[in-house]
Amino acid sequence: MIASWQHTLETHGATIIKGSVADFGNADAEQQQSAIGPIVADLSHLNLIQFVGEDAQSFLQGQLSNDVRLLDGANAQFTSYNTPKGRMLANGLLWQNAPNSYIFQLPASLREAIQKRLSMFVMRAKVKVSDASDDWVRLGFGGAGAAAALSQAVDALPAAVQGLVQTSFGSVLRLPGDHFELLIAPDQAAAIWEKLLQQAKPVGYACWDDLLIRAGIPTVLPATQEQFVAQMLNYELIDGVNFKKGCYPGQEIVARTQYLGKPKRRMYLAHIACAESPQPGDELYSADLPDQACGMIVNAAPGTTGGFDVLAVIQISSAAGQDLHLKSQQGPQLNLQTLPYAVPL
């Protein structure tokens, strides 16, 4: 985290742990805030990898699951980086920030390893791969009435989901569910923060994560690397895969699953009324599969009404029975919720 930006956050009461904002002094109240009105959250728990050079587009086209050629500086796309077996190593947002320059946003816990791995495949391509996390302050703006509130504080908002607009301070990106991400030049971050605080309540990063969970947007983390193919995470349903582009690692497996098979597991939204937070990678159990796990937690965050909201990959047959438990057959029960997009059965 940029030192000057950290100082700004701390003067407003932020508790910062390992470079991320845990809360602004009242985590329980913050947990409920997004259901009441707009929230603003620092997104330093996400990092940025930048790809610059005349071969940047073609390099990324051969590595990621979406069609990089469709990026034009006015949009972003969900995308993933996979093993040759089609299992996700990382996923996140990709956009073009300048001619021959692209930004891939992913969890800070994965950035260094993924950057190193991608750099290994540059070879003779004319592209430079670097950490750009300190080039922008990143803020999430969402919750009830977010679009109307944010329009009072910034120059312009993207009209379309995954649209990107340039502003006097940086960029604004529109995410599903009328949530927004702001990328701000560091020297303007304090001033923009003050404007946003007139429209929204500051919260810790877990509140932002909960908005994404309820929007059905998954994030691969270290504990879940190489566990899921795209369809298990509903990634083709949020336009994170392009089936018309050329080859990339795992493309054959992802395409075969789409056209020649049917996923046995899908991602579901659920609520768990428990005191201890579920963790990515925790296994799930159901009565129809007594001797083995039926699913796995992908992401979890405190819910607005207590307990925890989770995204979980679950056997479709087990999910149909609605008898799902965390960690054991006797563990806390999952209450399945409705995702904001239709999931094929």
| Judgement on whether residues 212 and 314 belong to the same structural domain of the protein | no
pLDDT for res 155:
87
For residues 273 and 237, state if they share a domain.
no
Residue 301 has a pLDDT of 97
In this predicted structure, what is the pLDDT of residue 44? Answer: 96
Is residue 344, in this structure, part of any structural domain at all? Answer: no
> Do 45 and 11 share a structural domain?
yes
User: What's residue 123's pLDDT?
Assistant: 87
- Asked whether residue 299 falls in the same domain as residue 172, the answer is no
Domain boundary among 246, 262, 278: 262
Note the pLDDT of residue 291: 84
Closest CA to 345 of 265, 226, 244: 265
Tell which residue, 164, 172, 202, 169, has the closest CA to residue 187.
Answer: 169
Q: Does a structural domain hold residue 288?
A: yes
Assign residue 80 the CATH number of its domain.
3.30.1360.120
Residues in the chain: 345
Three-state secondary-structure class, residue 183: strand
Return the axis-axis angle of helices 189-197 and 3-11, rounded to nearest 10°: 20
Residues 253 and 272 in one domain: no
In DSSP terms, 154 is beta-bridged to none
- Closest CA relative to residue 134, chosen from 46, 70, 62: 46
- One domain for residues 13 and 122: yes
pLDDT at 322: 83
Question: What CATH number should be reported for the domain holding residue 335?
Answer: 2.40.30.160
pLDDT at 290: 84
pLDDT score recorded for residue 159: 93
Residue 345 lies in a domain: no
Q: Which of 245, 262, 279 is the last residue of a domain?
A: 262
Query: What is the pLDDT, as a whole number, of residue 281?
Result: 98
Does residue 8 sit within a domain?
Answer: yes
How many domains would you assign to the chain? 2
Q: What is the pLDDT of residue 262?
A: 83
pTM equals 0.95
Distance CA 138, CA 320 (A): 39
User: What local confidence, expressed as pLDDT, does residue 71 receive?
Assistant: 98
At which of 262, 292, 308 does a domain end?
Answer: 262
pLDDT at 265: 95
Q: Are residues 207 and 322 in the same domain?
A: no
Nearest to 127 by CA among 187, 194, 60: 60
Domain that holds residue 293: 264-339
Q: Does 258 share its domain with 315?
A: no
On whether both 248 and 314 belong to a single domain, the answer is no
Cα 196 to Cα 13, 175, 200, 296: the distances in Å are 16, 18, 6, 37
Q: What does each of the 345 residues of the chain score in pLDDT, given as a tens digit?
A: 889 999 999 999 999 999 999 999 999 999 999 899 999 999 999 999 999 999 999 999 999 999 999 999 999 999 999 999 999 999 999 999 999 999 999 999 999 999 999 999 998 999 999 999 999 999 999 999 999 999 999 989 999 999 999 998 999 999 999 899 999 999 999 999 999 999 999 999 999 999 999 999 999 999 999 999 999 999 999 999 999 998 999 999 999 999 887 889 999 999 999 999 999 999 999 988 988 999 999 999 999 999 999 999 999 999 998 899 999 999 999 999 999 999 987
Same domain, 94 and 133: yes
What's the confidence (pLDDT) of residue 138? 97
The answer to whether position 128 is within a domain reads yes
Helix (H, G, I), strand (E, B) or coil at 270: strand
Q: Are 200 and 301 within one domain?
A: no
Is residue 181 domain-shared with residue 325, that is, in the same domain?
Answer: no
Distances (CA, A) of 198 to 100, 154, 339: 37, 12, 31
